[in-house]
Every structure is written in C-alpha cells, then in structure tokens.
C-alpha cells in the first residue's frame, strides 16, 4: 500500500509517497525549507503544501522533532515553543483533510531501519541515532520500540549532547571530521555505559558521510550507517501510518 510520508525537521520539511511493502519512495521527494519562526501555523501550512503537491487524498504519516503522546507535541527543542502542549495531530488532520498520524522523527527513522534497513532482524537492544539539527534517538528491544526516548538531551561534558555533538554543531563550528567524531565517540560511550546496547545505527543526513568519521570512533558496540540514509524518516512515517489504512 502507498502512503504519503512527511518528515518535519528543524531546517527542512520533506515528503514523498512510499511503497510500504518495499520501503521505497514512489516519487522523488519534495523538500521545502522549514519556516522561521517555525510556529505551528506556519509548519502546518507547509505540510498542507506537500499534500497538495502530491495531490494526495489518502493516509499520511508525519514526523515531528518532539515528544509526542496521543497526538500532542510535548516538547520543542529545535522548533518554536508554541508547539509545547499543542494538539498537532488533530490540527494537521483538519488542515490537510487526510487521515494523519504524527510520530517522533527519530522513532519513525528507527521503524524504517528496523523493517528495511540496518536493524532488520537484529535481536537485542538497538539504538538509532539521527544526527542533524539536533540528535534524535530511537530504542528497540528485540524489535519493539520504546517511544520518545529523546537521548539527544542527555548531559555530556556539562552540556546537552545535541548542543555539543549534533551535525549542526559540526557545520556551525567548522569542525574537522576527526574532532567532531571525538565528540560523537564520547556520546556513544556514555550511552554504552548506561544502556549496554548491541548495535548503534547512525542516521540523519550525515549518515551518507559515515566513512569520514567512522575510523575515529572507539566504541566497542558495532556501529553502522543507516541504510535508508535521509529517507528513513519519510519511510518510517508511512509505515507507522499503516494503522490508519
């Protein structure tokens, strides 16, 4: 079944129809810059613009970079504070006129990777970490998702991890790959100490450049790039929305 997947990020909002039986995009993804300020009303208009771009009438899966419970956004790390406590899923459904499911962005990427990517059939504890504007996390135990883990906000060296080691920090501070990898390594080792995972999957846009920083990682936990790369959020959103079909 085909479902429209939309991935809302701190810098861009992108979407495409997804073949949920194969985990592939059915059309070239369309991306629109995230409005600044990223208020609910402005972002919802962009989501509706994507729905109209694909002339979509069926179910929609949509990610968002926040804690999401019962369709309500409960945090706003990299978007406007007006999202906190906002009935986002209901408002998106009303504006688009489509059945729509809202899910945490890293959880969506994790669902895609566990179904079609690097985590497929992997037992034990698997962490998917999306390195982008912030750091998203998804935790799976024997294939079951623990939602809304938000481990990008874990304190590392006196700072929130994502404010010290996100890919946006690498770009803003023009860090060399080795220097940035050192920060990621500290973060991974902290997660290893706390959770003893069996596998790290590195997602987000930087996953396409995994070979540039992987040699500098010292963690003993197997660490691999996401196979769906930056499309994981779109695919995972569509998979999560299968329950609407």
Which tens digit of pLDDT belongs to each residue from 43-88? 999 999 999 999 999 999 999 999 999 999 999 878 899 999 999 9
Task: Tell me the backbone φ, ψ of residue 20, rounded to 5 degrees.
Answer: -75, -15
Beta bridge partners of 3: 18
pLDDT exceeds 90 at position 96: yes
CATH of domain 2-107+232-244: 3.30.420.40
CATH T-level fold of 122-227: Nucleotidyltransferase; domain 5 (3.30.420)
Q: Tell me, what DSSP letter sits at residue 69?
A: E
pLDDT exceeds 90 at position 11: no
Mean pLDDT of the chain, nearest integer = 96
Are the folds of 2-107+232-244 and 122-227 the same? Answer: yes
Q: How do the domains of the chain map onto residue ranges?
A: 2-107+232-244, 122-227
Q: Where are the beta strands (DSSP E) in 94-134?
A: 100-104, 125-131
CA gap 5, 26 in Å, rounded: 11
Q: Where are the beta strands (DSSP E) in 134-219?
A: 135-141, 144-146, 155-156, 159-160, 199-203
Asked whether the beta carbons of 169 and 163 are under 8 A apart, the reply is yes
CA gap 3, 56 in Å, rounded: 9
């Amino acid at each position: 079944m085909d479902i429209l997947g939309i991935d809302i990020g701190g810098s861009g909002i992108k979407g495409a129809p997804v073949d949920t039986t194969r985990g592939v995009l059915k059309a070239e993804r369309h991306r629109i810059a995230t409005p600044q300020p990223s208020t609910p009303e402005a972002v919802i208009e962009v989501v509706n613009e994507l729905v109209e771009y694909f002339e979509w009438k069926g179910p929609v899966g949509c990610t968002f970079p926040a804690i999401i419970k019962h369709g309500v956004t409960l945090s706003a790390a990299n978007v406007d504070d007006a999202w906190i406590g906002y009935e986002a899923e209901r408002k998106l459904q009303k504006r688009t006129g489509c059945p729509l499911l809202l899910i945490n962005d890293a959880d969506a990427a994790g669902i895609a990777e566990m179904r079609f990517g690097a985590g497929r059939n992997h037992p034990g504890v698997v962490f998917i970490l999306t390195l982008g504007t912030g750091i998203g996390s998804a935790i799976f135990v024997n294939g079951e998702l623990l939602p809304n883990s938000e481990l990008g906000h874990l304190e590392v060296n006196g700072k929130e991890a994502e404010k010290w080691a996100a890919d946006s920090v690498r770009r803003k501070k023009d860090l060399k790959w080795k220097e940035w990898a050192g920060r990621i390594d500290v973060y991974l080792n902290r997660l290893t100490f706390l959770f003893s995972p069996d596998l790290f999957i590195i997602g987000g846009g930087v996953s396409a450049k995994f070979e540039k920083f992987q040699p500098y990682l010292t963690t003993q936990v197997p660490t691999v790039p996401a196979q769906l790369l930056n499309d994981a959020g779109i695919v995972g959103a569509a998979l999560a929305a299968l329950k609407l079909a």
